[in-house]
Amino acid sequence: MKAFTPREVRRTLAKYDLHTVRVELSAGVAVEVVEVRDAYSLLDALAAREQAGRQIRRFPYWAEIWPAAAALARWLHQGHLTRPATPVLELGCGLGLAGVSGALLGWTVEATDYVEDALVLAAHNGSRNGVGASHRVRYLDWATPTGTPTRLIIGSDLAYEKANHALLARVLRELLVPGGVFCLGDPGRPTARALVDLLRSQGYQHEVDTVAQRWKDLDHRIDIHRFHRPAGRLNL
């Protein structure tokens, strides 16, 4: 687990122009999350660095709340899953919204990402919503997944690059126990179909709910995929 000092948190928060967004989970229940006010300004800065000859590998998708994350957080809070017996693993947590939603249900959540600033903000968002020790953060590289296997893995907007699907399948192979469930929020991207086909070819059972999500004055339709890992050996 990664614990950040108050000084590290203040230093990271000071790097960005942040604002607070309120995400309604159900009637009378909401979380407040800080996000970068203008994530596109970070893209402009990255473009300038590329022009200066520096290779950029970590794009700032983590810096704002996306509709799929809000929809997954709401869907989890509505009780579609029973309380897991093991800590929940959140992949590509970004600002940590879905994991915080799970922690508010009393789950123990381990929020992971590849970018340290995302982990700092996810930890900060957990603290400001009072989930305390139920919400932890740590670094996770999908190319070399480490950790204790669990019965529930969650994530949103993870299927947008087909090149990463094999890595994601590897994470599930290493960190999702047989019989476990992987829940993915996705805004109906065509690339998600390729991930569904890949995991089904490996023996996963697949279900999907489509939910409406109003976000930043726009209406979205978000797919909540549930992949059930077979109890036996994966068909690799």
Give residue 116's pLDDT band: very low, low, confident or very high (50, 70, 90).
very high
Give residue 46's pLDDT band: very low, low, confident or very high (50, 70, 90).
low
Instruction: Quote the percentage of the chain above a pLDDT of 70.
Output: 90
Contacts for 200-207: CB closer than 8 Å, 24+ residues apart: 201/235, 202/169, 202/234, 202/235, 202/236, 203/229, 203/230, 203/232, 203/234, 203/235, 204/228, 204/229, 204/230, 205/230
Cβ atoms within 10 A of the Cβ of 121, count?
29
Helix, strand, or coil (residue 182): strand
Query: How much is the pTM?
Result: 0.92
pLDDT for residue 83: 87
Query: Using one digit for the tens of pLDDT, what is the confidence trace for 161-188?
Result: 999 999 999 999 999 999 999 999 999 9
Helix, strand, or coil (residue 27): coil
Task: Among 55-59, 88-92, 212-216, name the one with the lowest average pLDDT.
Answer: 55-59
Integer Cα distance of 191 and 205 in angstroms: 18
Integer Cα distance of 212 and 192 in angstroms: 18
Integer Cα distance of 203 and 206 in angstroms: 9
pLDDT for residue 45: 54
CATH code, residues 6-228: 3.40.50.150
Integer Cα distance of 207 and 210 in angstroms: 10
CA distances from 70 to 22, 112, 202 (A): 10, 17, 29
Integer Cα distance of 58 and 64 in angstroms: 14
Query: Using one digit for the tens of pLDDT, what is the confidence trace for 207-236?
Result: 999 999 999 899 999 999 999 999 876 554
Contacts of 16 (CB under 8 A, 6+ apart): 36, 37, 63
Integer Cα distance of 226 and 184 in angstroms: 7
The domains of the chain are located at 6-228
